[in-house]
Chain A
Amino acid sequence: MLGQIIWWSCIALETFLLVRGIAGRLWARYPVFYAYISFVWLQSLLRFSIFHSRPQYYSAIYWITEGLGVLAGCAVVFEIYRVGLAAYPGTARVARNLLGFVFVLASTKALVETWNDPQWWLIATTMDLERLLRTVQSLAILALVVLFLFYAIPFGRNLRGILLGYGVFVGLSVIQLTFVTDSGSRFHKFWSHASPGSYFIVLGLWIVHLWSYLPSPEPKGAVRLEEQYQRVAAATAQRLREARGYLAKAVRS
């Protein structure tokens, strides 16, 4: 009964989120995110109808839509990067390198593991594959958030909500997929309620943050940036050298 309530509530919240997105024209600002929410909404309806009309197909439909959802989630991460760093070409460049590094690292590890154990792909369950993809996604989001923190990139309320909600969703998914391997375990029973509950909270976060359009703060001083950067880079080196002077003097004394 509780599961049904959560299921219906999540579908209602997704509908509400989509309605707010259309009414506030937020979908035009964050098209990939709203396409993702539309996909999740349709997926929820499809799963619900299959669960009640043809339960024997539910498992197959669940894992197919789940796989597509993971891929659609990658596009959401890309949109966060694209919109969040549009005004910061320097940080965007670092982010591209960092994300590239994360994906190259994950691909290399996957190739090496497959080379060492060619049967891996046959033995691995769909859940293993999803956990792998979600982990790579969580590393990509982690790299982005660390970069945002390091460069103190100011975020608008909307984009902050998208990143926060999706980050929490991915983080919890990874934890869930790590622990929930035994369907008869006590943790599995607990998580079968906790997981939709946490998704309910994520949807709440999105609704609060995406109630209406609020632009991201614009960076100041975008005039002659290259010249300014070179000057500041040189000044940074000079000032660090001065600090070195103070320290050396202090230690010598």
Chain B
Amino acid sequence: MIGMWGALAGGVVLLLVLLAWVQAEASSKDSHSDWGASGQEQGDRAESCSLEIVSQVFSARDSKFISGLESPGLENLFRRERTAVALHWVQETSAFIGKIMRRHLEASRLSADLEIAVEARIFLRYARLKLFCGILFVLIGLLGPQRLAGTALYAERFIQRIGEGLVEFQLAAQLRERDGSESP
């Protein structure tokens, strides 16, 4: 049957998860509107980061210009600053993705006709985006934002696949919504 060690692991994991749950409940007591106004504000702040700024942060043009000045001190300072900004942007993006997911969960937990398959697909896409943010974070820390050209092709394809899936899901959801409103 369930082995002794399996049973033991089950019991210990249950106690640990209960502990985590109690802590999560306690921490959310003060910020129960976490999914409300404050979440909205933070999410919007993350959204307002324009594409121009993002491309500027990851651009190799500035790096080339600084290298041209032939000042190692300035170059180091520039790399440190640019890496910090890029890492901050990845963190913000990751937080933004998290906020989107939480808002989605807030709505889906109340829905009577929630579809498990759709929810699982959304969660998988969310997990992949979060994972990608994590990988990007590590790579920026190791290589710097300007040296990520080698991963571009792989990342492009990877994110493209996620994007296509999300577009399909969006279309399906819109169709379902239209069908629902047309039905008597």
Interface residues in chain A, defined as those with a beta carbon under 8 Å from any beta carbon in chain B: 87-91, 93-94, 97, 106, 109-110, 113, 120, 124, 128, 131-132, 134-136, 138-139, 141-142, 145-146, 148-155, 160, 164, 167-168, 170-175, 177-179, 217, 219, 221-222, 225-253
Contact = CB atoms under 8 A, between A and B. Distances in A.
B183 interface: no
B13 A237 contact: no
A156 B57 CA distance: 46
Interface range on chain B: under 10, 10 to 19, 20 to 34, or 35 or more? 35 or more
A236 B100 contact: yes
A94 B18 contact: no
Nearest to B36: A220
A59 to B, nearest CB: 22
Interface string B128-144: 01001100100000000
Contacts of B67: none
30 contacts: A88-B109, A89-B112, A90-B110, A91-B109, A128-B1, A132-B1, A134-B7, A136-B2, A151-B108, A151-B109, A155-B25, A164-B22, A171-B15, A217-B32, A225-B112, A228-B110, A228-B111, A229-B110, A231-B177, A233-B118, A233-B122, A234-B174, A236-B101, A237-B173, A240-B122, A244-B163, A245-B51, A248-B156, A250-B136, A253-B58
Given A151-B108, A173-B11, A251-B136, 10 more contacts: A90-B108, A90-B110, A134-B11, A174-B7, A226-B111, A247-B132, A248-B155, A251-B156, A253-B55, A253-B59
A221 B127 CA distance: 27
Contacts of B110: 87-90, 219, 221-222, 225, 228-229
A168 B18 contact: yes
Nearest to A140: B14
A129 to B, nearest CB: 9
B151 A251 contact: yes
Given A90-B114, A164-B18, A247-B159, A240 B180 contact: no
Contacts, number: 238
Contact of A150 (B7, B105, B129, B167): B105
A153 B103 contact: no
Interface of B: 1-2, 4-8, 10-15, 17-18, 20-22, 24-25, 28, 32, 35, 47, 49, 51, 54-55, 57-60, 86, 89, 93, 96-97, 100-114, 116, 118-119, 122, 125-126, 129, 132-133, 136, 145, 148, 151-152, 155-156, 159-160, 162-163, 166-167, 169-170, 173-174, 176-177, 180
Secondary structure class of chain A's binding surface, majority of residues: helix
